[in-house]
């Protein structure tokens, strides 16, 4: 009999232990909480918040935000045995039953903090059946979560009237601070509201709330829960809080980051920097309205951490007339000339050039693509650094052609340029002049690499942005050379309107203006910050006044002058892989036999070209100096050697157009057979294999142009194998073509010939 009793009571004890997991499996805990998305700044303060799907303010209180003050006050008031019971307090249940039976009504409750969490997760009518379900859910909560996590859930779900739930929502919306920054008086004031959320309304019932608060403070004093001085201060503290608007301080960035789905998004925004920048942008754009320019965007990166500390998407988010809700920092726009520094840096690393290398700023034509400079002028021979700080287009296109477009696009793809990566197959040489799509955020991140010795590191927007690997886009030497060029103040893109009395910190910067004057860019950096500025219209409407130098750079300078005032003591040092050498000023190459004017230039040992300068060449000519010879046709005697400057064909055309005299090499020996095998003229207009649409009523003639050798005086043009006209080699003539395929031939006075084909279509009646 004794053993049977043991087995019976054992079964009674074991049955719940067996059934509990089964019922938990059949009736899982509904513990998925929909939290408001909140965005915090670098100090953890809420700077932007969104309602939940059910239109509640339910901001998640993190464990580290539950201060000892908050924990002790809440537990003492709501459930002092919280840390000792398994979710249900049997003594409290017994006490409540006794009181309720003898009084004939409900005078005392027995809900623990855990049971209150269960009720908040699964609201139901307050019946005995409901209480049994609550108890079951409480056991499930205790089984699954620690006491700290259950208290966290409680603090996130308690009601504060209206659509405010959770202590963090109440702390932010009533006191404008996080829960761990609340005073004892504020903590206790918030602890009394959930019991009567409809009658104790902050801002309307503050006197009542203070009376209830003080009752509990006096009780806490009797129980020695807090120091006497803290209690006295809390009793004397006035309550002036009222409901405030939810913070909406970084609308553009908040919307961008909200897509991650996380309830709490910790950004690195420095609120002081953010608000200063917003004010500068708003005030500045207001002055541009009369120029028909209505918006601007700014991104600020802290170079020491690579964190985005400032992000302004428009001049005024709430200005619907000018598309204020468009995020200009993330919009895809044409970048103008802002990619040129990377291109020249890559050319330096490829050994193609150094800062004082000489480039030809003369007309070119690549299969119909004939770029022009911004001012439509040609400058002839220029150094690379001159081409960069004057933002010349033709040398940039030539440099991209030499480096290789695909190589450049690959580097941009590695630096996070998404649109360029997607369009890589259809991009041409025009991409270096802005013929591509990018964003202000991408450009600012690229220029931040210049502040990190050429190492590209994706910018950090949030604390979740970890594990990023750096990518080397430039060597430290090339990076330093480009930085030196971009930090010059005596540049044509230095804004004329900028006051010389401003204490601008030393920065390096590059401007850009897109085709049609739709976008003005200025990206600058120093040791501390990289700042990207875009100015324009979200509608895409251009304006004659839109210019990177005149509109974007003044705002860039104002921002640097505000966030990094007069800070020019720390600048970039010359790296070990960057050396200095003497070069010929005519070509930028190491001096050769005939170099006279030498200058110093940076270079990279074992990378930069060591080919000596050969700008002067020795040519064999007859005694009258009117015929030149090559080694294949030079006579045994009767000739002499004379020095001539080596001038490329495109520069010969430029010199002729600008009436610049130079000593030309005499025409080659007409009896030489070699000339018939090499040096045929290059047809540059019209473009080979191009299709031309011509108005049938008003046919526009097409231009014929070629680049011929220095020894050519006259060329002969043929259309569809029929002689058309002869002209001096560098003259431009015109013809009106027939419809259909057209063959164009050019023969020079040495008999060398070149053919191309074009297609002509007539339009109109």
Sequential DSSP letters for 427-472: --GGGGGT-S-B-HHHHHHHHHGGGGTTEE-PPB-BTT---PPPEE
Q: H/E element holding 297?
A: strand 295-302
* Region of poorest pLDDT, from 207-216, 372-381, 672-681: 672-681
Instruction: Write out the catalytic residue numbers.
Output: 78, 337
Say if CB 282 and CB 276 are below 8 A apart.
Answer: no
pLDDT at 9 over 50: no
Class of domain 679-763: mainly beta
Mean pLDDT, range 111-131, rounded to an integer = 82
| Higher pLDDT pick, 687 / 420 | 420
Nearest to 87 by CA among 121, 120, 114: 114
Mean pLDDT, range 746-752, rounded to an integer = 81
Confidence of residue 156 (pLDDT cuts 50, 70, 90): very high
The percent of residues above 90 in pLDDT, for the chain, comes to 59
DSSP 8-state class, residue 156: H
pLDDT value of residue 108:
44
Buried b (16+ CB within 10 A) or exposed e, 557-585: bbbbbebbeebeeeebeebeebeeeebbb
Buried b (16+ CB within 10 A) or exposed e, 471-505: ebbbbbbbbbbbbbbbbeeebebebeebeeeeebb
pLDDT value of residue 676:
57
Confidence of residue 675 (pLDDT cuts 50, 70, 90): low
- CA triple 523-527-529, angle to 5 deg: 45
Mean pLDDT, range 262-269, rounded to an integer = 95
Half-sphere exposure of 451 (CA within 13 A, CB side): 27
* Region of poorest pLDDT, from 384-398, 546-560, 576-590, 642-656: 642-656
In which residue are the tokens 């950096």 written?
A: 525
Say if CB 597 and CB 637 are below 8 A apart.
Answer: no
| Higher pLDDT pick, 151 / 685 | 151
pLDDT at 698 over 70: yes
Radius of gyration for the chain, computed over Cα atoms and rounded to the nearest angstrom: 39
**Cα(297)–Cα(536) distance, integer angstroms:** 9
**Cα(307)–Cα(458) distance, integer angstroms:** 9
Q: Which two tokens stand for residue 653?
A: 């055309």
pLDDT value of residue 107:
43
DSSP 8-state class, residue 334: -
> How do strand 307-312 and strand 164-165 relate by DSSP bridges?
unpaired
**Cα(640)–Cα(735) distance, integer angstroms:** 44
> How do strand 38-40 and strand 733-735 relate by DSSP bridges?
unpaired
**Cα(29)–Cα(46) distance, integer angstroms:** 30
Count how many residues are written for the chain. 765
Confidence of residue 109 (pLDDT cuts 50, 70, 90): low
> What's phi and psi for 614, nearest 5 deg?
-135, 40
Mean pLDDT, range 136-156, rounded to an integer = 90
| Higher pLDDT pick, 28 / 77 | 77
Domain boundaries, the chain: 23-236, 616-674, 679-763
Work out whether the CA dihedral 8, 13, 18, 19 comes out positive or negative. positive
* Region of poorest pLDDT, from 62-76, 209-223, 374-388, 702-716: 702-716
Say if CB 135 and CB 105 are below 8 A apart.
Answer: no
pLDDT at 701 over 80: yes
pLDDT value of residue 730:
77
Confidence of residue 648 (pLDDT cuts 50, 70, 90): confident
pLDDT at 73 over 80: yes
* Region of poorest pLDDT, from 149-158, 721-730, 733-742: 721-730
pLDDT value of residue 728:
83
The percent of residues above 70 in pLDDT, for the chain, comes to 91
Q: Within 10 Å of residue 407's Cβ, how many Cβ atoms?
A: 11
- CA triple 109-110-112, angle to 5 deg: 125
Residue 579: beta bridge partners? 603
pLDDT value of residue 392:
95
Q: Within 10 Å of residue 289's Cβ, how many Cβ atoms?
A: 10
In which residue are the tokens 């938990």 written?
A: 24
pLDDT value of residue 100:
56
pLDDT at 4 over 90: no
pLDDT value of residue 370:
86
pLDDT digits (tens, 9 = 90+) for 537-549: 999 999 999 999 9
Question: What are the residue ranges of helices labelled H in 287-424?
Answer: 340-349, 384-389, 393-403, 405-414, 418-422
Confidence of residue 322 (pLDDT cuts 50, 70, 90): confident
pLDDT value of residue 10:
45
> What's phi and psi for 754, nearest 5 deg?
-140, 140
Average pLDDT, the chain: 88
Mean pLDDT, range 614-618, rounded to an integer = 84
First to last CA, the chain: 117
**Cα(734)–Cα(702) distance, integer angstroms:** 5
pLDDT value of residue 265:
95
**Cα(316)–Cα(157) distance, integer angstroms:** 35
Mean pLDDT, range 226-238, rounded to an integer = 94
Task: Match domain 23-236 to its CATH number in 1.10.3810.10, 3.30.365.10, 3.40.50.920, 3.30.1360.170.
Answer: 1.10.3810.10
**Cα(413)–Cα(422) distance, integer angstroms:** 9
* Region of poorest pLDDT, from 157-166, 456-465, 661-670: 661-670
> How do strand 307-312 and strand 519-525 relate by DSSP bridges?
unpaired
Three-class SS of 734-754: EECCCCEEEEEEEEECCCCEE
Confidence of residue 11 (pLDDT cuts 50, 70, 90): very low
Say if CB 650 and CB 707 are below 8 A apart.
Answer: yes
Say if CB 265 and CB 37 are below 8 A apart.
Answer: yes
Nearest to 663 by CA among 611, 628, 698, 695: 628
Mean pLDDT, range 593-620, rounded to an integer = 90
Query: pTM value?
Result: 0.83
pLDDT at 385 over 90: yes
| Higher pLDDT pick, 524 / 727 | 524
Mean pLDDT, range 40-45, rounded to an integer = 95
DSSP 8-state class, residue 80: T
* Region of poorest pLDDT, from 110-124, 210-224, 512-526, 656-670: 656-670
> What's phi and psi for 38, nearest 5 deg?
-125, 145
pLDDT value of residue 659:
84
**Cα(695)–Cα(457) distance, integer angstroms:** 53
**Cα(560)–Cα(179) distance, integer angstroms:** 35
């Amino acid at each position: 009999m004794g053993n049977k009793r043991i087995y019976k009571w054992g079964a009674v004890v074991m049955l719940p232990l067996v059934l509990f997991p089964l019922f938990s499996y059949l009736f899982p805990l509904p513990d998925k909480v929909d939290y408001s998305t909140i965005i915090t700044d670098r100090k953890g303060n809420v700077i932007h918040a969104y309602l939940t799907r059910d239109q509640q303010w339910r901001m998640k209180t993190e464990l580290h935000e539950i201060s000892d003050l908050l924990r002790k006050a809440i537990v003492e008031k709501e459930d002092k045995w919280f840390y000792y019971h398994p979710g249900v307090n049997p003594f409290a249940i017994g006490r409540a039953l006794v009181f309720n039976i003898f009084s004939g009504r409900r005078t005392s409750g027995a809900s623990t903090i855990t049971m209150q969490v269960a009720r908040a997760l699964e609201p139901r009518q307050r019946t005995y059946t409901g209480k049994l379900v609550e108890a079951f859910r409480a056991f499930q909560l205790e089984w699954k979560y620690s006491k700290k996590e259950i208290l966290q859930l409680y603090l996130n779900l308690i009601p504060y009237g209206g659509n405010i739930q959770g202590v963090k929502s109440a702390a932010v919306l009533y006191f404008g601070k996080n829960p761990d920054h609340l005073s004892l008086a504020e903590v206790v004031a918030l602890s009394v509201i959930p019991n009567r959320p409809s009658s104790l309304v902050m801002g309307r019932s503050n006197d009542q709330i203070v009376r209830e608060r003080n009752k509990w403070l006096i009780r806490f004093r009797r129980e020695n829960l807090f120091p006497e001085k803290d209690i006295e201060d809390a009793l004397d503290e006035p309550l002036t809080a009222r409901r405030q608007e939810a913070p909406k301080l970084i609308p553009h960035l908040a919307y961008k980051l909200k897509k991650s789905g996380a309830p709490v998004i910790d950004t690195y925004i420095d609120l002081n920097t953010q608000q200063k920048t917003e004010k500068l942008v708003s005030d500045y754009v207001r002055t541009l309205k009369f120029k028909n320019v209505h918006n601007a965007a700014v991104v600020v990166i802290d170079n020491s951490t690579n964190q985005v500390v400032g992000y302004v998407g428009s001049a005024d988010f709430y200005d619907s007339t000018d598309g204020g809700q468009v995020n200009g920092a993330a919009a895809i726009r044409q970048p103008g000339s802002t990619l040129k520094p990377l291109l020249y840096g890559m050319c330096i690393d490829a050994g193609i050039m150094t800062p004082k290398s000489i480039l030809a700023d003369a007309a070119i034509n690549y299969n119909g693509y004939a770029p022009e400079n911004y001012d439509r002028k040609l400058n002839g021979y220029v150094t690379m650094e001159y081409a960069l700080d004057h933002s010349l287009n033709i040398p940039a296109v030539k440099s991209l052609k030499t480096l290789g477009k695909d190589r450049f696009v690959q580097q941009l793809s590695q630096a996070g340029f998404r649109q360029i990566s997607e369009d890589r197959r259809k991009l041409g040489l025009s991409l270096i002049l802005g013929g591509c799509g990018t964003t202000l955020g991408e450009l600012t991140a690229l220029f931040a690499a210049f502040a990190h010795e050429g190492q590209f590191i994706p910018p950090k927007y949030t604390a979740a942005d970890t594990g990023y690997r750096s990518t080397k886009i430039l060597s430290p030497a090339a990076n330093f050379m480009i930085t030196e060029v971009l930090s010059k103040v005596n540049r044509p893109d230095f804004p004329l309107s900028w006051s010389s009395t401003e204490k601008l910190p030393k920065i390096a910067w590059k401007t850009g203006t897109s085709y049609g004057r739709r976008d003005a860019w200025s990206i600058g950096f120093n040791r501390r910050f990289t700042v990207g500025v875009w100015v324009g219209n979200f509608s895409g409407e251009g304006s004659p006044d839109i210019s990177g130098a005149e509109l974007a750079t003044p705002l860039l300078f104002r921002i640097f002058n505000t966030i990094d005032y007069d800070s020019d003591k720390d600048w970039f040092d010359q790296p070990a892989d960057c050396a200095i050498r003497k070069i010929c000023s005519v070509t930028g190459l190491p001096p050769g036999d005939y170099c006279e004017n030498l200058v110093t230039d940076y270079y990279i040992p074992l990378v930069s070209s060591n080919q000596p300068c050969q700008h002067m060449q020795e040519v064999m000519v007859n005694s009258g100096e009117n015929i030149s010879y090559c080694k294949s046709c030079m006579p045994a005697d009767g000739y002499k050697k004379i020095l001539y400057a080596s001038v490329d064909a495109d520069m010969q055309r430029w010199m002729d157009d600008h009436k610049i005299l130079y000593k030309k090499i005499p025409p080659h020996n007409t009896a030489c057979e070699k000339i018939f095998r090499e040096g045929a003229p290059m047809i540059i207009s019209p473009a080979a294999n191009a299709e031309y649409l011509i108005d049938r009523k008003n046919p526009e003639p097409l231009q014929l142009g070629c680049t011929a050798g220095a020894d050519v005086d006259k060329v002969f043009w043929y259309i569809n194998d029929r002689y058309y006209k002869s002209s001096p080699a560098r003259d431009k003539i015109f013809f009106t073509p027939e419809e259909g395929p057209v063959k164009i031939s050019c023969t020079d006075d040495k008999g060398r010939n070149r053919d191309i084909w074009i297609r002509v279509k007539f339009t109109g009646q």
